[in-house]
Copies of this chain bind each other. A is one copy, B any other.
Amino acid sequence: MHYKKIIKEIKESDNPIKKKASDYVDSLLKPLGSLGVLEETAIKLAGISGSVKNSFDKKLILIFASDNGVVVEGVASAPKEVTAIQVGNFLKGVGGISVLAKSAGADIRVIDVGVDAFLDIDGLYDHKIKMGTKNLAIEDAMTIEEAELAIQKGIDMVFEAYEDGYQIIGTGEMGIGNSTTSSLLLTALTKSSLDKTVGRGAGLSQEMLEHKKKIILQALNRYENFTEDPIKLLTRYGGYDIGAMIGVYLGCAYLQIPVVVDGFISGISALMACKLNPLVKDYMLLSHKSMEPGFKLIEETLEMEAPLNMKMRLGEGTGCTLMFKIIDSSMAMINHMGQLENNNIDQCILVDIREDLI
């Protein structure tokens, strides 16, 4: 389905079912609110699925790989070639995301949306748009058509996953240079200072970080006018991976399946998707607080908080796998805990102190 139609047709999640789930959670054998995020998660997921009780056994991480022309400017600690190598490693089962997804009972699908190499790897989804984006420091990273195509690729991957029976999706990416593209998008969207939006990525020294900021400023200065239009921003600064992840958030919201956000690159994509339609937020769950400084700004802008403080900064969708496990625990709670009234504890003894704790 065309992405513009998807954006128009996204619906709010089911508020009456959320209320019903919230009441049910309050009837369980525990003080009101005492399972915190497990409760909030169960209620949110009920609103998404339309049922109070749920299970999300078929889990998938969609990992979009793409190269970024800006790496010629020396903004990344690893050479461009690592993008292609890691795609191979993910599919060999030896990457971080490969082993962490397996531990969470999740499958992975790796999609080439713009790796700058000819890849012939079993199991790889080939949706290459181009051999990497152009150098955003001196020209637009991509055309409007490419930006729209990237979003569409993400949506199509969600529809395919949905048809294959997946019940929950997490977003991941691999692309040397993509903390630079993300920082640019975040700066443009929030008009914040570079201190709040630019970080060390995978492993920049202090000196390299200053250089990265210089390149980002140069890219911002290519245009006199600011814009908050996500499609225009994507065109200016890329990358294809971010475009595809925007599509994943839109597609999941349209199909009403929950989608878990990983770290910084996933987070800015989530923010862009919410800019296209704020109702997308109803279908999104944050996972972990990325060590990249811009993630805090993403949380503030989304008015959401990631519950896991793992000091991680790998990307690939690794944070999503941990949140999948938390979601399983949340489902164990709502599906299997006993209720106060059936287990000798009268509900009247419970005082609701949740408001006071905020």
Q: How far is the CA of A77 from the CA of B30 in the complex (A)?
A: 12
Q: How far is the CA of A291 from the CA of B353 in the complex (A)?
A: 12
Contacts of A77 in B (CB 8 A): 31, 349-351
Shortest distance from the beta carbon of A56 to any chain B beta carbon, whole Å: 13
Nearest B residue to A358, CB-CB: B311
Contact of A350 (CB < 8 Å), options: B203, B310, B311, B349: B203
Q: How far is the CA of A203 from the CA of B38 in the complex (A)?
A: 18
Contact of A338 (CB < 8 Å), options: B94, B208, B307: B94
Contacts of A313 in B (CB 8 A): 31, 33-34, 36
B311:A94 contact, CB within 8 angstroms: no
Q: How far is the CA of A307 from the CA of B326 in the complex (A)?
A: 13
Q: How far is the CA of A297 from the CA of B197 in the complex (A)?
A: 31
Q: Does A277 contact B (CB under 8 A)?
A: no
Contact of A86 (CB < 8 Å), options: B29, B202, B203, B321: B29
- A79-105, CB under 8 A of B: which get 1 and which 0? 100100110110011111011101110
- A30-58, CB under 8 A of B: which get 1 and which 0? 11111111101000000000000000000
A 311-356 contacts with B by CB, 8 A: 311-314, 318, 321-322, 325-326, 328-329, 331-333, 335-338, 343-345, 349-353, 356
B34:A314 contact, CB within 8 angstroms: yes
Contacts of A204 in B (CB 8 A): 351, 353
Shortest distance from the beta carbon of A260 to any chain B beta carbon, whole Å: 15
A92:B338 contact, CB within 8 angstroms: yes
Shortest distance from the beta carbon of A321 to any chain B beta carbon, whole Å: 7
Q: How far is the CA of A96 from the CA of B25 in the complex (A)?
A: 11
Contacts of A86 in B (CB 8 A): 29, 345
Q: Does A205 contact B (CB under 8 A)?
A: yes
Q: How far is the CA of A123 from the CA of B329 in the complex (A)?
A: 24
Q: Does A144 contact B (CB under 8 A)?
A: no
Q: How far is the CA of A336 from the CA of B90 in the complex (A)?
A: 12
Contacts of A99 in B (CB 8 A): 332-333, 335-337
B95:A337 contact, CB within 8 angstroms: yes
Nearest first, the 9 A-B pairs at minimum CB distance are A94-B338, A36-B311, A103-B332, A31-B202, A203-B351, A99-B336, A34-B314, A325-B325, A36-B312
| Besides A85-B343, A85-B345, A325-B329, 8 other A-B contacts (C-beta < 8 A) | A37-B311, A37-B312, A77-B351, A100-B333, A203-B350, A204-B353, A206-B356, A308-B309
Instruction: Please list 20 pairs of residues, one from A and one from B, whose beta carbons are closer than 8 Å in the complex, sorted by A's number.
Output: A29-B94, A29-B96, A31-B77, A31-B203, A31-B313, A31-B314, A34-B314, A77-B349, A77-B350, A88-B344, A89-B338, A92-B343, A95-B338, A100-B333, A200-B353, A203-B350, A205-B356, A206-B356, A208-B351, A309-B309
| Residue positions of A touching B, CB distance < 8 A | 28-38, 40, 77-79, 82, 85-86, 88-89, 92-96, 98-100, 102-104, 200, 202-206, 208, 291, 305, 307-314, 318, 321-322, 325-326, 328-329, 331-333, 335-338, 343-345, 349-353, 356-357
